[in-house]
């Protein structure tokens, strides 16, 4: 939840707005309270869209559609006014995380939880289908978790199967990675009916069981292609659950079970109880003291924390309880006027319910008290001290990059502290995750729990970032990552995450410019190494499309993760007449390919991305590494005019030249420091710093830093990606990588 802004209204109809829950291009969702004390999630449409009659009609449809769904596992509509000047829709408020957030932060669900999740979501979809509708966007982000069961949300694009308003040929409606084959074909195949939701349900349950979508991640067109043609990856799914999912994920919609059949398959002889009357998972009902075992304990704790946070909301005062027992937070003048009225029973139930959840979660009342940043420590001279966290792999597989990032941050902090005009002092706290995702989650929690830490630089890898970001987001702790590049990290909606480098999927533009410009390639071979999974797709998918748009032939080949001999695939590529090659994979497999190409005396361009910028590629490939070109978001500052001073300072401080990503981390620390300096002393908090980082423009030695204020995405201006070439058995810096093909 975020505080209200000065531009936000105080009320909508009878509902008092309390906090922002989220915002999109067409409206804002608020946490609001009715006059009777009921908490709701209120979606308010921006007035400029309300003036569009077509948009207003679609909003009327959403309201009418949601009201047709009657299931305890679908979030119900509480109130709505589609005819208001700014149309709005209020639904029951569920304080729990989404399934996407919970699994990303705390791992897959165990078998009992999967069966409960599958049965109850199937029951919700049965209600949707019985009403003659198709949800069309069943995904982990549209499933909220409460202690008594999941809730299906967002019926904004639900339609009757025969309605074609949103299903014109060529228009894809839904979320890639969870789309059915008929949705991916965009009107060119079977119609989108109830079986489409069953396919999406299978994808959601596969994600809940493994922590990954069954068709991977990557470019949308790649995901849709896999949904239509590739088998789902169900490795790691419990056997009995996998048997149900295989039916859900049949390519032909006629072969899939109905929602009722899915529910029966999951329940078997063990029916799942209905939710207790009056709870519904909202904080104005009292959850059971012993929550069902379908959720792991950390997720129950997270629900407890969010329920407890309601105690801090304006005008939720314990006026029927001894004031000494329940502290009352200050409230705005308008709220104080309402508080003078006799409180209803619902308000007392709200307090009791939240307290019960805290007791169930175990010792979480302190979260509500300590979540705001306390006063900083001070130096002997009276300057406040703020801490920058470094979350890195310092002793594991990528310790070379992790240590480089730590050194870059420490050097930036030492240089700042040496300034006589500094308004504050900085300190560094480093946490080593050893490159292990499980340890990364613990490292993130340690940094989040240290209230003196105002920002974090890191983590080092995609895998460690994936398990850490929810923890940082929950703590409102801004995190600036300079080496992880997966697109999946940025699409989860983490408000405090800044991916301060071009994503892997963007590197295709630089590879295209190199191939068509410098290399003068005519026919390009693309090797997608399945061992690299999403990383390979994010490189190959966009690059293949870019080459196709440039009318330059490409020959894509997929290599099994178990295959160690590239001879067969190179035979096929050679027969196709390739004169250049791009490998989408990591250093170890690139070395195998390099040796095979060397033995064949292949002299064409050989290119890869940062997954091959690794000293181990050089040692494993030997002489065969020479001639390879690498596109990577890491520079050598010692050969750049603006970076030489940094490189000299690094050598003087640490006795060695800066390694890859040291300069990028140095810039990240400078970015955070610049944003922190822009804030008045009274506003130097995690939340305010997150806003300031979104707003600041910072010119570093590696690139220009500017983020989209709405999404936090790095604005791409062509800078920040560089060429490296292997010559004489070493990586040699070759300057900024071109973004456009020279004319």
| Active-site residue set | 137
CA distance 486 to 633: 13
Q: Using a CB cutoff of 8 Å and minimum separation of 24, what contacts does 434-438 make?
A: 434/393, 434/394, 434/395, 434/396, 435/393, 435/396, 435/397, 435/398, 435/399, 435/402, 435/460, 435/461, 435/463, 435/464, 436/396, 436/464, 437/463, 437/464, 437/466, 437/467, 438/467
Check whether the bond before 459 is cis (ω within 30° of 0): yes
**Alpha helices by DSSP H, 384-427:** 399-417
CA atoms within 13 A on the CB side of 478: 27
Written as six digits, the tokens of 620 are 């494993």
Q: Say which residues have a Cβ less than 8 Å from residue 466's Cβ, sequence separation at least 6.
A: 104, 437, 486, 488, 489
Q: Comparing C-alpha atoms, which of 126, 233, 212, 193 is closest to residue 183?
A: 193
Written as six digits, the tokens of 683 are 């506003």
What sign for the dihedral angle of Cα 498, 502, 506, 507?
negative
The answer to whether 15 and 40 have CB atoms below 8 angstroms apart is yes
User: b/e per residue, 35-58, with b = 16+ CB within 10 A?
Assistant: eebbbbbbbbbbeebbeeeebbeb
Torsion of CA 674, 677, 678, 684, to 10 degrees: 120
Is residue 733 helix, strand or coil?
strand
What angle separates helix 297-309 from helix 345-361, to the nearest 10 degrees?
A: 150
CA distance 696 to 673: 11
> Across 585-661, where does the E strand assignment appear?
605-609, 628-632
Is residue 10 helix, strand or coil?
coil
CA distance 441 to 444: 5
- For β-strands 384-392 and 453-457, DSSP reports them as parallel
The answer to whether 56 and 108 have CB atoms below 8 angstroms apart is no
CA 434 to chain centroid, in Å, comes to: 22
Q: Say which residues have a Cβ less than 8 Å from residue 731's Cβ, sequence separation at least 6.
A: 613, 618, 630, 724, 725
The number of helices, as runs of H, and strands, as runs of E, in the chain is: 25, 23
3-state secondary structure 450-506: CCCEEEEECCCCHHHHHCCHHHHHHCCCCEEECCCCCHHHCCCCCCCEEECCCCHHH
Place of tokens 């608020």: 30
Q: Comparing C-alpha atoms, which of 503, 703, 518, 525 is closest to residue 610?
A: 503
How many other C-beta atoms are found inside a 10 Å radius of the C-beta of residue 512?
A: 25
Written as six digits, the tokens of 376 are 């900083």
Q: Say which residues have a Cβ less than 8 Å from residue 250's Cβ, sequence separation at least 6.
A: 199, 256
How many other C-beta atoms are found inside a 10 Å radius of the C-beta of residue 278?
A: 11
Task: Report the DSSP beta bridge partners of residue 479.
Answer: 456, 497
């Amino acid at each position: 939840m975020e505080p209200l802004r000065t531009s936000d209204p105080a009320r909508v109809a009878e509902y008092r707005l309390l906090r922002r829950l989220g915002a999109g291009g067409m409206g804002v969702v608020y946490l609001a309270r009715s006059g009777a004390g009921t908490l709701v999630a209120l979606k308010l449409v921006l007035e400029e869209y309300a003036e569009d009659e077509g948009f207003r009609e679609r909003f009327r449809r959403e309201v009418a559609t949601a009201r047709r769904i009657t299931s305890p596992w679908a979030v119900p509509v509480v109130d709505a006014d589609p005819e208001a000047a700014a149309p709005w829709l209020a639904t029951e408020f569920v304080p729990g995380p989404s399934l996407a957030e919970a699994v990303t932060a705390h791992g897959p669900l165990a078998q009992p939880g999967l069966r409960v999740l599958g049965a109850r979501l199937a029951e919700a979809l049965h209600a949707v289908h019985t009403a003659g509708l198709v949800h069309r966007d069943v995904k982990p982000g549209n499933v909220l978790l409460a202690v008594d069961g999941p809730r299906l949300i967002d019926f904004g694009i639900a339609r009757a199967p025969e309605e074609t308003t949103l299903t014109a040929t060529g228009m894809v409606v839904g979320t890639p990675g969870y789309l059915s084959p008929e949705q991916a074909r965009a009107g060119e195949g079977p119609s989108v009916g109830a079986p489409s939701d069953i396919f999406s349900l299978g994808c959601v349950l596969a994600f809940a069981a493994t922590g990954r979508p069954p068709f991977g991640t990557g470019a949308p067109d790649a995901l849709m292609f896999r949904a239509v043609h590739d088998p789902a990856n169900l490795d790691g799914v419990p056997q009995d659950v996998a048997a149900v999912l295989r039916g859900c994920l049949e390519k032909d919609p006629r072969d899939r079970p109905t929602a009722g059949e899915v529910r029966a398959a999951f329940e078997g002889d063990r029916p799942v109880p209905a939710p207790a009357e009056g709870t519904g998972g909202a904080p104005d009902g009292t959850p059971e003291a012993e929550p069902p075992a379908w959720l792991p304990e950390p997720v129950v704790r997270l629900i407890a924390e969010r329920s407890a946070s309601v105690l801090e909301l304006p005008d939720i005062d314990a006026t029927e309880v001894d004031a000494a027992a329940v502290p009352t937070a200050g409230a705005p003048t308008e709220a104080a006027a309402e508080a003078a009225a006799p409180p209803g029973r619902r308000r007392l139930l709200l307090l009791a319910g939240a307290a019960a959840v805290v007791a169930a979660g175990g010792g979480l009342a302190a979260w509500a008290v300590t979540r705001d940043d306390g006063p900083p420590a001070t130096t002997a001279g009276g300057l406040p001290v703020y801490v920058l966290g470094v979350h890195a792999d310092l002793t594991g597989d990528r310790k070379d990059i992790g240590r480089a990032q730590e050194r870059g941050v420490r050097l930036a902090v030492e240089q700042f502290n040496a300034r006589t005009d500094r308004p504050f002092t900085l300190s560094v706290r480093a946490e080593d995750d050893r490159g292990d995702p499980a340890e990364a989650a613990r490292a993130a929690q340690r940094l989040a729990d240290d209230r003196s830490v105002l920002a974090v630089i890191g983590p080092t890898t995609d895998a460690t970032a994936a398990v850490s970001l929810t923890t940082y987001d929950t703590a409102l702790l801004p995190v600036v990552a300079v080496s992880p590049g997966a697109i999946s990290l940025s699409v989860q909606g983490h408000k405090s995450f800044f991916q301060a480098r071009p994503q892997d999927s963007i590197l295709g533009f630089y590879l295209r410019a190199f191939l068509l410009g410098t290399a003068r390639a005519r026919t390009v071979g693309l090797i997608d190494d399945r061992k690299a999974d999403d990383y390979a797709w994010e490189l190959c998918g966009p690059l293949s499309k870019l080459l196709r748009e440039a009318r330059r032939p490409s020959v894509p080949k997929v290599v099994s993760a178990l295959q160690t001999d590239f001879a067969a695939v190179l035979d096929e590529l050679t027969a196709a007449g390739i004169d250049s090659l791009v490998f989408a994979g990591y250093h170890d497999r690139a070395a195998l390919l390099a040796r095979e190409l060397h033995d064949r005396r292949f002299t064409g361009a050989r290119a890869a991305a940062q997954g091959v910028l690794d000293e181990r590629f050089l040692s494993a490939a030997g002489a065969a590494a020479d001639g390879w070109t690498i596109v990577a978001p890491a520079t050598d500052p010692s050969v750049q005019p603006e970076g030489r001073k940094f490189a000299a300072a690094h050598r003087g401080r640490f006795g060695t030249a800066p390694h890859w990503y040291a300069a990028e981390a140095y810039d990240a620390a400078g970015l955070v420091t610049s944003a922190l300096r822009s804030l008045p002393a009274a506003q130097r908090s995690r939340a305010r710093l997150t806003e300031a980082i979104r707003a600041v423009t910072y010119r570093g030695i590696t690139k220009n830093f500017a983020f989209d204020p709405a999404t936090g995405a790095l604005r791409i201006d062509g800078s920040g990606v560089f060429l490296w070439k292997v010559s004489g058995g070493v990586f040699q810096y070759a300057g900024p990588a071109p973004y456009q093909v020279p004319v």
